[in-house]
Amino acid sequence: MATIIEYIKPLLKGESLSFEQATSLLDVIFEGEVPEPQIAAFLTAMQIKGPTAQEMAGMAKSMRSHAVKVKPGIENLVDVVGTGGAAVKTFNVSTAAALVAAGAGVHVAKHGNRAITSKCGSADVLAELGVKIDPGPDVVAECIRQARIGFMFAPMFHPAMKYVHPIRKSLGFRTVFNILGPLANPADVPSLVLGVAEEGLMPVMAEALKMLGARYAMVVHSNGLDEISTASITKIAELKNGRMTNSELNPRDLGVEPADIDGLK
C-alpha cells in the first residue's frame, strides 16, 4: 500500500514542500492506494500551515496530468473562475462574466462544479438554465469552437479526485483542493481571470500560475469577495508575459458609483 508519510512529516513541522514533492504527493494519492487517515492528515496539516506557490503549482501539475483533456485546437483560450469561500454569498458572477466574454468574441473554456462553499456553483447555474453540464471532452471542444464557450464539469474531468472527495467532505472545513481547482483547467488555458476570497492568496496564486506557464492572468480580490466588484475597490495581481504587477480598480474610475453589496446576493 502506498504511503505519503514522508510528505506529511515536514508539513506537521510547518515546513513547505518543493514543487516536485507536491507533485509526487498528489501523484501517489491519485493512484488510489493511500489510506484515508493519511490523506486526512495531509489535508489538515496543509490547511494549518497554508500552501506556498510552489506547493500549489506542483499539486496543480499533478491534477492536470491526471485530468481528462479538452483540446478544441484554439490558442487563445480563457477561463473566468473563482475559488469560492467568500464571506458574502453572491450569485455566480464568474459564470455570467464567462457568458458575456464569449458573447464578445472570446473563446472560454469554463471549468467548474456545483456549489461547495458558495451560494451557487457554475454547474448549478448552467443546469438551471437547461444546459447539459456533463458532456464529454469532444463535445466540450466542439462547443468552444462553435459557441465560443464550453463547460467542463469538474467531477467528470478529474476522475482521480474520487479518492479525495469523501475525505474532504467528512472533514467539514475548507482544504487546499478548494483553491486548487481553478489552477487545474483540463483545457490548459493560457489566460484566466481568477478570483480569490482571501487577499493573502493573491501572490500565492499569481506566482503559481507563473510557474505553471500562464501567459496572462488577473488574480483579483475585493473586500472578501472572489470577484471584481462594483461594491468596493478591487485589488489585482496581474501576470503578463512573465512579469507581475499589482494595481487597484476603483469603480468610480470607470464612472460607476459603488453598489450595495446586497445587490450581488
- List the domain boundaries for the chain: 77-156+179-264
Which among 68, 66, 55 has a CA at the least distance from the CA of 30?
A: 66
Place of cell 471584481: 228
CATH of 77-156+179-264, one of 3.30.230.10, 3.90.25.10, 3.40.1030.10, 3.40.50.2000: 3.40.1030.10
Q: Is 170 exposed, middle or buried (0-12, 13-18, 19+ CB in 10 A)?
A: exposed
pLDDT at res. 265 = 66
What predicted TM-score, i.e. pTM, was given to this entire model? 0.92
Residue matched to cell numbers 496564486 = 205
Q: Taking CA 181 as the corner, what is the angle to CA 112 and CA 201, rounded to the nearest 5 degrees?
A: 120
pLDDT tens-digit map of 110-142 = 998 886 655 678 888 899 999 999 999 999 999
pLDDT, average across residues 59-67:
98
- Predicted local distance difference test score (pLDDT) of residue 92: 83
Question: Helical H runs in 13-164?
Answer: 19-29, 36-49, 53-66, 93-103, 122-128, 137-147, 154-157
Q: Which residues of 212-235 are buried (b: 16+ CB within 10 A; e: fewer)?
A: bebebbbbbbbbbbbbbbbbebbb
Choose among 217, 246, 252: nearest CA to 233.
Answer: 252
* pLDDT digits 0-9 by tens, 127-181: 999 999 999 999 999 999 999 999 999 999 999 999 999 999 899 888 999 999 9
